[in-house]
Homo-oligomer: A and B are copies of this chain.
Amino acid sequence: MEIYEIKEDILSRNNERAKEVRALLDEKGVYYVNLMSSPGAGKTTLLSKLIPRLAKDFRIGIIEADIDSDKDAQTIERETGVRVIQIHTGGACHMTCQMSLEALEALGTDGLDLIFLENIGNLVCPAEFDTGSDMNLVLLSVPEGDDKPLKYPLMFEVAHAVAITKLDVSEIFDFSPENAVKNIKKRNGNAEIFFTSAMKDDGIDELELYIRNEASRKIHKINNR
């Protein structure tokens, strides 16, 4: 069918572009993390917690993608003091790799070690478009329910790590961490899973350590080339 061929063509061009982005970031020694989740799952709050910890050892840049508004960019900049740029996708429901590349160029990769992209809040479309990131970090918030990996399969298939967020309200929402893990594993046996509550500062250290180790490993490897 015509529409699907067009879509495949778009996706195949996107994948080619993702290879270019990876080559560029490898050359610069930059580690790139793509945060994805439903609207309001806590991407901005988690970043506000992670960045002050990681900023002790990494030079960090942030790309905030939104359809409209620059509220998150303002929040992150105010709370962390790191360099943030705001991308408006013009109605689009995801970041393409071309948008990702333009955002990286606008942010400037020189002198940075670690870049976070806060993608559009959407559990479907962003999963289809490789942004050229080293890590896909997917958030699943407790109020959404532990069944979401069953209903939004691709997002959990492309995740390198899943952070369950807002765990402090799991009893109010009848959310079972065991079921969540079981449902994530059904989609992806390799994803690292973290249990976090930004409110209580739970699990943030573990997630920070994971990102720190992954980023250090890449940067170390590049520096020793």
Contact = CB atoms under 8 A, between A and B. Distances in A.
A69 B156 CA distance: 14
A188 interface: no
Given A68-B151, A68-B153, A153-B68, A145 B40 contact: yes
Interface centre among A3, A69, A153 (most CB of B within 10 A): A69
Given A122-B123, A144-B39, A66 B151 contact: yes
Interface in A142-198: 143-145, 147-148, 150-154, 166, 169, 172
Contacts of A91: 154
A6 B123 CA distance: 24
Contacts of A40: 38, 141, 143-145, 148
A145 to B, nearest CB: 5
Interface residues of A, number: 34
A138 interface: no
Contacts of A61: none
Given A38-B38, A38-B40, A39-B144, A121 B169 contact: no
A217 interface: no
A23 interface: no
A50 interface: no
A93 interface: yes
Interface centre among A66, A68, A143, A153 (most CB of B within 10 A): A143
Interface of A: 3, 6, 10, 38-40, 66-69, 71-72, 91, 93, 120-125, 141, 143-145, 147-148, 150-154, 166, 169, 172
